[in-house]
Amino acid sequence: MVLRKIFPAMYTLSEEAPACSRNGTLYLMRCIFVMGVRKPPARFFVAYCLWSIVMNLSSTFYQPIAFLTGYISHLSELSAGELLTSLQVAFNAWSCSAKVLIVWALVKHFDDANDILDEMDRRLTQPSERLRVHRAVSKSNRIFFIFMTVYMSYATNTCLTAIANGKPLYQNYYPYLDWRSSSLHLGLQTGLEYFAMAGACLQDVCVDCYPVNFVLVLRAHMSIFADRLRQLGSDPEESPEQRYEQLIQCIQDHKTILRFVDCLRPVISGTIFVQFLVVGLVLGFTLINIVLFANLGSAIAALSFMAAVLLETTPFCILCNYLTDDCYNLADALFESNWIDGEQRYKKTLMYFLQKLQQPIKFMAMNAFPISVGTNIVVTKFSFSVFTLVKQMNIAEKLAKVEGEADFN
């Protein structure tokens, strides 16, 4: 009951309640506001600008630089496990910063997409249709909190492991801070690294979960639209003119769906492309770390990180495959409608519409490759190639040998 009061959009409303599809991105949009990439509210203009500077300076801009500077300054002092732990996060941090900048530049598209969802809601007349949207909204918000839990679990596990080991896990570079000099410096560096990583995890949740949130609600509307197509011409009381108007209205509904997809396409194309570029490499470093170097605490943190990395692309790629099937279902639904007895004008328009429906909705990653389960498997398999390369070249043994010699000296 307490959760229901705090997060009401996580729970399914009754079919009597009006549909509000934009609630499927309610908590997503709030977290995007916390990211500091929205237009500052007039009432808290200065406070929001200051928060945006702190948040993005630490997580978006400085953290990737801190990883690189840390390698230059302390590379000889890092153990093999610590280096791999840092590298796997560094590559993901660099990709996260790129995705945040893409979302920052195109965040207005989210508002436009929610406005189009409002248009779709106005076409819902039946209680069963509203109930389907309510279920999609609650599922969308629950998935958002699952993402948040997995990502924040990694940040927290990493911080606890650092505290247990008595040294910062990433050992990033911060001016005037030498964590070896005192407990105060150690605590400050650990706190700064955790703040930057928690901020990056919050950003990652938003830039990775938004396609899932939007497409889940879209699929609910497409399911309702399929039923609407299937019912065309089923009312014997309709005149030919009324039947034709219903068909034209369905064509307009399909155009609305395509406008919604086109509104999100530039954002999705950029963020997924960036993620596809690094996911195999990041998972490869994580596998090497878990299998060859990590102790129990580091292994738990690395497994949490691996789950987070897999969440970055896999759910949306699965949804893209389902979306293709939904498009074919729309064509089947229109063909199953009662069009045999229609007038010539109705049949010609329907055949043209049927050809349009047979063109599936597809998302592309920067027009380079389709976003699908097949592509996701290909880029994920690259991690095993990285792991195999390291094993065959005995890089792990060489790193362990160098580390042992350093400890001996």
pLDDT in tens, 99-124: 999 999 999 999 999 999 999 999 99
Angle at which helices 373-392 and 395-408 cross, to 10°? 50
In angstroms, the CA 46 to CA 35 distance is 15
For the stretch 275-313, pLDDT in tens is: 888 888 778 777 777 777 666 766 777 777 778 788 888
pLDDT at 373: 92
Which residue in 238, 228, 219, 235 sits closest to 336, CA to CA? 228
What per-residue confidence (pLDDT) applies to 379?
85
Local structure of 33: helix, strand or coil: helix
How high is the pLDDT of residue 162?
79
pLDDT of res. 406: 47
Q: For the whole model, what pTM was predicted?
A: 0.88
Q: Are 155 and 146 in contact (CB under 8 A)?
A: no
Q: Which residues of the chain have pLDDT under 50?
A: 402, 406-408
DSSP 102-167: HHHHHTHHHHHHHHHHHHHHTT--SHHHHHHHHHHHHHHHHHHHHHHHHHHHHHHHHHHHHHHHTS
pLDDT at position 6 is 86
Give the mean pLDDT of the chain: 86
Q: How far is CA 302 from the centre of its chain?
A: 20
Predicted confidence (pLDDT) per residue in 342-375, tens digit: 889 999 999 999 999 999 999 999 888 899 999 9
